[in-house]
Amino acid sequence: MNLYRDPSLLLGHVITSLLLGAICGALYWDVTSDIAGFQNRIGLFFFLLAFYGISSLSSLDSFSAERHLLTRERSNGFYKASAYYVSKLLFDLLPLRVLPPVLCGSTLYYMVGLNLRAGAFGKFLWVLIGFNIMSAQIWLLVGVLFGQKKGLASLTGTLILMYCMIFCGVLLNQGKYLFTML
């Protein structure tokens, strides 16, 4: 019902994903197959994952806003927790966490000239979708743990995302780590 009442969230995710796909596709148009092209592809992948990690912030307060309603309706016997979970899965996960990466990835994949072998496009979409779902679940967990403390929840979720991004392996060349200098 929340997605039906406020379609601007879905529309925002869809439009930004299509625009991001078109802009990144034009920016990274037909990247070369040398070292510079490899670094450009890594930059594109990092940017896409950072974008979907941050855009999943929309799931931060989704459960805290529905918690009181869920508790009241479950105690009155209107539905079970499993019905809530399935509806959350179908109407949050599919339209907000699966559709936008599919649209973005489909828009930019062939423009950039990524791997054209069979199955590579599916793996690319699988990673984008999986990361988007994982990010949304982390934000949702942080939102559940911190409840109404939205500022602290936002800070904690951002720190978790930054921690994941800094240790993903693309921001620092091998051999420059503190541990190798010791």
Q: For the segment 114-128, what is each residue's pLDDT rounded down to a tens digit?
A: 888 889 999 999 999
Q: What pLDDT shows up at residue 129?
A: 93
Q: Output 61 or 34, whichever has higher pLDDT.
A: 34
Q: What pLDDT shows up at residue 182?
A: 47
Of 88, 74, 60, 86, which Cα lies nearest the Cα of 1? 88
Q: What pLDDT shows up at residue 177?
A: 54
Q: Is residue 3 within 8 Å of 10, Cβ to Cβ? A: yes
Whether 4 has a pLDDT exceeding 50, the answer reads yes
- Which DSSP state fits 177? S
C-alpha–C-alpha distance, residues 93 and 129, integer Å: 10
Whether 66 has a pLDDT exceeding 80, the answer reads no
Q: List helix spans (H) across 113-177.
A: 120-146, 150-166
- Which DSSP state fits 57? G
Give the pTM. 0.81
Instruction: Round the CA-based radius of gyration of the chain to a whole number and report it.
Output: 19
Of 27-36, 56-65, 108-117, 131-140, the one with minimum mean pLDDT is 56-65
